[in-house]
Amino acid sequence: MTSTWKRASLGIAAVALAWGPAAAQEATAPALSLELNALQPSEGGCRLTFVVENGLGADVSRAAFELVLFNAEGLVDRMTVVDFQDLPADKTKVRQFDFKGTPCDQLGRVLINDATDCAGDGIAPDACIRNLKTATKSSSVEFGS
């Protein structure tokens, strides 16, 4: 009975070592989550709605990203910088940007090229791009970095 208990304990310990640290680290890893939530036709173009959650553990006083918009054929339509402004720690915000001259049905992909600004007390200048996690709710437009 003792040897069975030891084997069971070793098996549990092996599973804990294999899954525990990685899962714990992943769950607590700092992240700036950016989701392309919606595309809506707007006056002469397309309005992109983003949901952003600051999980970096500190307030971001300013976050701006260079976006590249690709058309449906995969060609670069434009490059632009969008300013998400302040992002308080552990808070979710919604930001909308209008892109005149770019119809939503002609948009194929949105690429985050770089973070042009990332500032805040205790925030490294590269934290916004290094810890960026992207997602999309759109079935027609790819989004990511």
Domain count, the chain: 1
Give me the pLDDT at residue 14, please: 47
User: Is residue 25 in a domain?
Assistant: no
Tell me the C-alpha distance between 88 and 60, whole Å. Answer: 6
Instruction: Check if the beta carbon of residue 144 is closer than 8 Å to that of residue 111.
Output: yes
What range does the domain containing 53 cover?
A: 30-144
Please state, rounded to an integer, the average pLDDT across all residues of the chain: 87
Query: From the centroid of its chain, how far is CA 133?
Result: 3
Question: Among 28-32, 44-48, 113-117, where is mean pLDDT lowest?
Answer: 28-32
Do you know the residue count of the chain?
Answer: 145
Judge whether 53 lies within some domain.
yes
Task: For the beta carbon of residue 43, count every other beta carbon within 10 angstroms.
Answer: 7
pLDDT beyond 60 at 112 = yes
Our CA angle for 108, 113, 119, nearest 5°, is 130
Residues 16-36: what's their mean pLDDT? Answer: 68
What are the tens digits of pLDDT across the range 49-100? 999 999 999 999 999 999 999 999 999 999 999 999 999 999 999 999 999 9
What's the CATH code of the domain at 119? 2.60.40
Judge whether 42 lies within some domain: yes
- pTM, entire model: 0.80
